[in-house]
Amino acid sequence: MALVNKIRERSGWAVGIIAFALLFFIFLGDLLSGQNTLSGGSSQVVGEIAGEEVDYQAFNLKVEDLRAQFQQQAGRAPGEEDMAQIREQAWNQFLFDIAYKKEFDKLGLSVSPEELVDMVQGSNISPQVRQAFTNPQTGVFDKNQIINYLKGLRNLPPQQQAAWANFETNLSQDRMREKYENLMRLSVYATTAEAQKEYQAQTSKADAKFLFVPYYAINDTTVKVTDSQLSDYLNKHKDQFPGADTRSMKYVTFSVAPSKDDSASLYAEIKTLARGLGAAQADSSFAQINSDVRVPLYMTIGEMPEQLQQAVSGFSPGGIYGPFREGNIYYIYKFGGTKRDTSFTVRASHILIRSGADSLAAEQKANDILKQIQGGADFAALAQQNSADGSAQVGGDLGYFKNNGQMVKPFEKAIFDFTGEGLIPRVVKTDFGYHIIKITEPKTNLLYRIAGVGKAIAPSQVTRDEALRKADQFASEAKSKDEFEAKIKEDKTLVAATAERIPEGANNVNALAEARQLVRWAFDDKTDVGNVSEPFELGDQYVVAVLTGKTEKDNVKVDDYRAELTAKVRNESKAEQIIGKLGNASGSLEAIAQKYGAGALVETATDINLATGFLRSAGVDPVALGKVFGLKPGKRSKPFAGEAGVLIMETTKLTPAGTVADYTQYKNLLQQNVASRTSFYINEAIKEASKVEDRRAKFF
C-alpha cells in the first residue's frame, strides 16, 4: 500500500517527464526532417511570391480542397500523377491570388457582381457556363436551365452549393485574367520598318555556291581541350550557360516481370474461369466481375484480336474460345450469337499519289498504276514503291474502319458503295490526291456478341521478393560510383541508364514514371556525389542509383556543362585548323576543295531566303545566310567558322523583294505571332517581377 501511495505522489512528475520527452522527440524529429513545427522559420514555407510567404499548412489546405474536388468529379481517388497536377494547380492559384492580383489592383481591374450575373445568366454568358449547361445529346444550350438551377441552389446539398460557389470564383478570376491579357495584347505593335524587314526576309531570294568543311572531318581525339580553355570559354559566354539546381545519376533496374511459374499459375486459373464462363447464365456479368481489363460485349470481326478472328469460322452459340495470350494477358471468350449494326465495317488497302502542283500528271500516274494492277501486277509491291501514305510500308493496308467519317467523304463513299471485295475499277480523287483502292475484306454490319475475360499475368510475391533480393544485394555490394560501375561490368544482364540534370521538382526520371522518391533522394542534403541509393520500388521494377553530379543555380562550374563546353572549344580549335589549311583560298571553290583534300564539300543552294534558309549539308546557319545576302553576285566571302563547320560563301544570284505599297499583311502577322504568346510572356514576367521562390520539392 505504501508503494502505491509513493507512485501516486510522483505521478505528476512522471507525466511531466513523459510529456517533455515526447515534445523533445517531436522537436528533434522536425529538426532532422527540416520541418520545425515548434520554432517556425523557413522550414514550414513552401515558397515565396512577391515577398509573401506561402505557408505549408495553407498550401496543403488548398491541395486537399482541390483533391476533394477531383475525387468528386472523377469518382476516384487521384493517383500520384494526378496529385502532382493538383499541387501545380494549387501553386498557380497562390501565384494568381498574390502576384496577379497586385497587378490587377494597380490598374483598377475588377469584376463587379453585375458583371458576374451577366456572365452566368445575362446577355454575355461565359463559354464555361455554356459548356456546363449544354445538352450533350442535342448539343443545344438553354439559358432557362441555368436560371432553374440557381433558383433551386439553396435546396441542394452543401457540397453542390460549395462547388457552384467555387465555379463562380473561377469565372471571376478567368475574366480578370482575360481583361489583363487583352490590355497587354492591345499594347502589341509592329512598326512599318519591322514589317518591311519581315517582308524582305520572306520574299528576297538568293542562289549560292559554297565550300563546306564540317567539323567532324577532323577526328575529336586529335584535338586536346584543357580545363583552362573550358573555364575561359564559360567566363566569356556566361549568358549561354545559366545556373540551375539539378542532379545527375546512373541507375540500374531490376524488373519484377512475371516468371514462368506465375504464367503457369494464371493459365490454370483461366481454365477454371473458362468453365465458369461456359456455365454462367449471366455471362456478361460473370465476365465483367472476373476480368482485369475491359472487353467490349459486341465486336465486329475487325475489332477482334487476330487469334479470335481466326476462330470465327468455327463459332457456335455458347462455345468457349481460348485461352489466347496477348502480351501479359490471357483471354477467354464465350460466343453468344450475332446481330446487325447500323454502321458497316470494311478492310481496304490503297495507293496514294499526291497531286501537288501538277494535278494532271498525278492523275495520269495513278491511272497507269491502276492499269498495271488490273494487268496482274502486285498491289502491295506497287504501294510500297509509289504510295505517298504511311501505309505504304505495309503494302497500303489501312486495316478495318467504319463508315462513320473516319475517312474523307469521296474515299469513304467509293469504298462503301462497292459490293464485295477486289480492286475498285477507277481512281478516286480526294483533297489528298489520287487513290487506287482495293477492298481486301467486304463491308459488313455483323456484330458478334462475345463475353470476354482478360486476366493479367501478375508477378507473385515470390517473384517480387526475388527481384528485391537482387536489388538489395547489388546496393549492398556497390558502395561507391566505381564499385557501381564494376558490378555492371561483372553482370552482363544489367544495363545502366544515365539521367542528366534532373530538376528538383521532377516527377519522372527518363522513362521512370512517378519517381519522386528517387529525385528526393538525389536532392537530399545527405546525398553526396558517388553515393549509391537503397532500392526504390517504382512500378514494376526496383531501381538502384548512384549520384554522378550536382549543379547549383548560383555557382556554375565547368563540370556542369563539360560536354557542351568541350564541343564548343574543340570546334573553335578545329575551325582555326581548317581556316589555316585553306590559306588564301584562291581559285575556284572546286580547286580549293581539291587542294584541301578529304572532307571538303562544294554544294549549291537555290531560292534560299533569310526566313527559312537551309544550306544542305551545312544545315541552317544564320551567319552563312547573312553573308550570302550581304555579298554582291559573283563575290565570295573569306573562310569563316559556321555552326557545323567552316564555310566559304559565294553569291551567284540575288533576287531582291519587290516594292509593295502596303505592309499591313506583315504587320498583322508579326502582331499575331507576338499576341499568341502573350499569356506565356505575361506569366513569366509576373513570376520574374515577383521574385518567385518555389520550394515545394522539399515537401512533396
**472 and 522 in a common domain:** yes
Q: Is the pTM higher than 0.75? A: no
Q: Give the model confidence (pLDDT) of 219-230 as tens digits.
A: 999 999 999 999
User: What is the rounded distance in angstroms from the CA atom of residue 436 to the CA atom of residue 424?
Assistant: 7
pLDDT at position 15: 39
pLDDT at position 27: 40
Domain count, the chain: 4
User: What is the rounded distance in angstroms from the CA atom of residue 547 to the CA atom of residue 233?
Assistant: 27
Residue 28, domain extent: 1-40
Helix-helix angle 260-279:461-477, to 10 degrees: 160
HSE, side-chain direction, 13 A CA sphere, residue 240: 10
| Residue at 159 is within a domain | no
pLDDT at position 263: 85
**445 and 478 in a common domain:** no
**545 and 405 in a common domain:** no
C-alpha cell at position 225: 581541350
| Residue at 468 is within a domain | yes
| Residue at 266 is within a domain | yes
The 3-state DSSP class for residue 588 equals coil
Contact 351, 369 (CB under 8 A): yes
The 3-state DSSP class for residue 532 equals strand
Question: For 434, phi and psi rounded to 5 degrees?
Answer: -115, 135
User: What is the rounded distance in angstroms from the CA atom of residue 199 to the CA atom of residue 369?
Assistant: 43
**264 and 233 in a common domain:** no
End position of a domain, from candidates 405, 437, 458:
458
Cβ-based neighbour number of residue 273 at 10 Å: 21
For residue 389, give the CATH number of its domain: 3.10.50.40
pLDDT at position 137: 65
**569 and 527 in a common domain:** no
**253 and 216 in a common domain:** no
User: What is the rounded distance in angstroms from the CA atom of residue 606 to the CA atom of residue 275?
Assistant: 72
Check residue 85 and report its DSSP letter.
H
| Residue at 193 is within a domain | no
**537 and 571 in a common domain:** no
User: What is the rounded distance in angstroms from the CA atom of residue 346 to the CA atom of residue 354?
Assistant: 24
**282 and 378 in a common domain:** yes
Query: Which residues of the chain register pLDDT less than 50?
Result: 1-41
C-alpha cell at position 696: 515545394
End position of a domain, from candidates 510, 534, 555:
555
Residue in the block written with cell 566571302: 637
Cβ-based neighbour number of residue 275 at 10 Å: 11
| Residue at 385 is within a domain | yes
**539 and 501 in a common domain:** yes
**436 and 371 in a common domain:** yes
**Neighbour-count burial for 199-228, b at 16+ CB within 10 Å, e otherwise:** bbbebbbbbbbbbbbbbebbeeeebebeee
First to last CA, the chain: 55
Q: For residue 628, give the nearest of 651, 605, 609, 644 by alpha carbon.
A: 651
Q: Give the model confidence (pLDDT) of 9-42 as tens digits.
A: 433 444 343 344 443 443 434 434 444 433 344 5
> What region does 376 belong to: left with phi over 0, alpha with psi -120 to 50, or beta?
left
Extended strands (E) in 152-216:
205-214
| Residue at 149 is within a domain | no
Spell out the residues 6+ positions from residue 12 whose beta carbon is closer than 8 angstroms to its own.
Answer: none
**493 and 424 in a common domain:** no
For residue 578, give the CATH number of its domain: 3.10.50
Q: For residue 335, give the nearest of 317, 351, 348 by alpha carbon.
A: 317
| Residue at 478 is within a domain | yes
Contact 280, 293 (CB under 8 A): no
> Which uninterrupted H or E stretch holds 53?
strand 52-55
**336 and 398 in a common domain:** yes
| Residue at 529 is within a domain | yes
End position of a domain, from candidates 503, 525, 555:
555
